[in-house]
């Protein structure tokens, strides 16, 4: 076993205990946090982290005392306040780590496939909930060798504790660069728009700026109206991917597929797009392939060759694209971010947009990226995510948490999370992969995308009654990226860009 060492504190992280949203003793949960206790939105974040060595549980517990337990929400109960109508409030408590750190000891002679054992273990977690008699998180350490790692750690956190960026902040504070054990990891930097030149343009420049502002407000109005129409009666087309009402309470199977981030960047540079555009395009292509196969099998005699279109016309398929409204850590160096993290508004700052997906078989694979890029640019010119956040808070305040929940009318949910740019260690153990996901969401399919070093991890959380062949969908995603990359190379677009 590789020798580990205690995590050395960094001077700039003196405010790290303020990373997650903390509240004073007895303060009620925020409206969004309360929403995550609704039956159709009782969401748990579950992250599997593969390590390149075996894990010493006692060493991990020692580090948890110094880091995780200093986070107020990780050492607080959620207790009903009888004086406030039974609303939940935060109450600090002593944490017994033995109730939170689980170390199963499987009989390796009885394990036919280590990969399937880990997959089944995570799936079984989705059948259970964490008792509210303790802080709502736990860690599971599986010292079993899989095809991708020597051991796996699983962090399960109820979403009322914090959102994706909060948890990523916490994870980063526990991590260091492999190349520099005393340095915090870095996240991809967001592209900053270049300021417009003021030396020329005059009236025309101001007119363009005014038009851009008006366009954003118009797009926001259209998107909010469409959201209300969706909530009232506009369901997505019933497809093999669309779950029935109540699907949020069903168990999930969580699988992931690691692809090359360099391949994604190659397409990004050639198409003058973003990584998010490319991954949305890949997802459009994969879902089109998957549904085409499903509809082909449903035809009489299982007809419909793979190259022929078996898709119905005018499929309405949308994703609830989750948007974290907290300023991303990637806007500055991580060490600087942690230094000023106490100035960031904390909690579940989550909005969403209804993102349309075009389901069709394309002759040119690059059309998937082109349509994703166009839809992405349209969604960037709107305040829809901000509006959905404040609408949810308003609905919860005046009408109850049920009306503030995520929409059930869309087909699936999708989230893109930027991860560390370089290989990292966590508590001194080198990380092989990071696979964040959730269960409890009101869709039968959830897709997470996370970059780590030179890899891109695509994670699916599926209801097996609706999507019984999740590995096949992973194959479609991997194959779609390959087809799009090959199309870029065949058209000679790579030569036009530095790569």
Residues with catalytic roles: 159
Q: In sequence order, what DSSP letters do the residues of 59-95 get, joined into one string?
A: HHHHHHHHTGGGSGGGGEEEEEEGGGTTEEEEEE---
Helix or strand holding residue 208 (H, E): helix 203-232
Q: How far is 53 from 88, CA to CA, in rounded Å? A: 40
Structure tokens at 456: 């891109």
The radius of gyration of the chain from alpha carbons, rounded to an integer in Å, stands at 23
Q: How far is 210 from 206, CA to CA, in rounded Å? A: 6
CA dist 131 → 48, 81, 157 (Å): 21, 17, 12
Looking only at the bridges linking them, the beta strands covering 76-81 and 424-426 are unpaired
Looking only at the bridges linking them, the beta strands covering 429-439 and 424-426 are antiparallel
Residue whose C-alpha is closest to residue 246's, from 41, 37, 33: 41
Q: How far is 249 from 43, CA to CA, in rounded Å? A: 9
Q: Which positions ≥6 away from 277 have C-beta within 8 Å?
A: 268, 271, 369, 372, 373, 376
Task: Please identify which residue in the block is written with the tokens 């695509």.
Answer: 458
Q: In sequence order, what DSSP letters do the residues of 290-323 get, joined into one string?
A: HHHHHHHHHSGGG---TTS--PPSS--EEEEEEE
413, 446 contact by CB (below 8 A): yes
Q: Write the burial class of residue 118 (CB in 10 Å: 0-12 exposed, 13-18 middle, 19+ buried).
A: buried
Helix or strand holding residue 201 (H, E): none
Residue whose C-alpha is closest to residue 353's, from 377, 391, 386, 326: 386
Residue whose C-alpha is closest to residue 50's, from 447, 455, 474, 429: 429
Q: For the stretch 166-177, what's the b/e string if a residue is b when 16 or more beta carbons lie within 10 angstroms of its beta carbon?
A: bbbbbbbbbbbb
153, 139 contact by CB (below 8 A): yes
Q: How far is 309 from 305, CA to CA, in rounded Å? A: 8
Q: How far is 251 from 470, CA to CA, in rounded Å? A: 14
Upper half-sphere CA count for residue 50 (Cβ side, 13 Å): 20
């Amino acid at each position: 076993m590789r020798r580990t060492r205690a995590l050395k504190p960094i001077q700039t992280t003196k405010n790290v205990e303020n990373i997650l949203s903390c509240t004073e003793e007895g303060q009620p949960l925020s409206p969004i946090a309360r929403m995550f206790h609704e039956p159709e939105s009782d969401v748990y974040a579950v992250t599997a982290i593969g390590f390149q060595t075996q894990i010493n549980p006692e060493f991990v517990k020692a580090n948890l005392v110094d880091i995780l337990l200093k986070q107020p929400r990780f050492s607080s109960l959620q207790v009903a306040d009888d004086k406030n109508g039974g609303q939940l409030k935060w109450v600090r408590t002593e944490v017994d780590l033995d109730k939170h750190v689980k170390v199963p000891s499987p009989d390796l002679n009885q394990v036919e496939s280590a990969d399937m054992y880990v997959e089944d273990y995570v799936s079984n977690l989705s059948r259970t909930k964490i008792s509210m008699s303790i802080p709502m998180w736990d860690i599971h350490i599986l010292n079993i060798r899989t095809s991708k790692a020597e051991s796996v750690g699983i962090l399960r956190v109820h979403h009322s504790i914090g959102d994706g960026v909060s948890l990523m902040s916490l994870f980063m504070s526990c991590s260091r660069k492999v190349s520099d054990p005393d340095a915090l990891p870095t996240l991809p930097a967001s592209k900053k728009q270049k300021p417009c030149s003021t030396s020329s343009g005059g009236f025309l420049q101001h007119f363009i700026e005014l038009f851009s502002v008006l366009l954003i407000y118009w797009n926001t109005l259209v998107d909010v109206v469409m959201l209300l129409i969706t909530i009232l009666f506009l369901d997505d087309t019933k497809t093999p991917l669309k779950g029935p009402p109540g699907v949020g309470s069903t168990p999930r199977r969580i699988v992931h597929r690691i692809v090359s981030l360099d391949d994604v960047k190659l397409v990004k540079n050639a198409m003058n797009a973003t990584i998010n555009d490319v991954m949305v395009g890949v997802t459009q292509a994969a879902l089109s392939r998957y549904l085409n196969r499903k509809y082909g099998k449903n035809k009489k005699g299982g007809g419909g060759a793979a190259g022929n279109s078996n898709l119905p016309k005018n499929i309405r398929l949308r994703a609830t694209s989750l948007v974290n409204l907290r300023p991303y850590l990637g806007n500055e160096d991580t060490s600087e971010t942690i230094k000023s993290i106490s100035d960031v508004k904390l909690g579940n700052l989550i909005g969403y947009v209804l993102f349309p997906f075009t389901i069709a078989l394309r002759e040119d694979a690059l059309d998937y990226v082109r349509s994703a890029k166009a839809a992405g640019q349209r969604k960037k010119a709107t305040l829809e995510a901000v509006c959905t956040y404040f609408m949810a808070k308003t609905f919860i305040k005046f009408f109850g948490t049920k009306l503030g929940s995520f929409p059930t009318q869309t087909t699936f949910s999708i989230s893109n999370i930027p991860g560390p740019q370089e290989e990292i260690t966590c508590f001194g153990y080198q990380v092989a992969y990071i696979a964040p996901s959730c269960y409890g969401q009101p869709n039968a399919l959830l897709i997470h995308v996370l970059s780590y070093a030179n890899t891109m991890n695509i994670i699916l959380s599926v209801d097996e009654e609706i999507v019984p062949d999740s590995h096949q969908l992973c194959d479609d995603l991997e194959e779609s990226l390959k087809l799009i990359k090959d199309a870029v190379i065949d058209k000679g677009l790579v030569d036009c860009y530095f790569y």
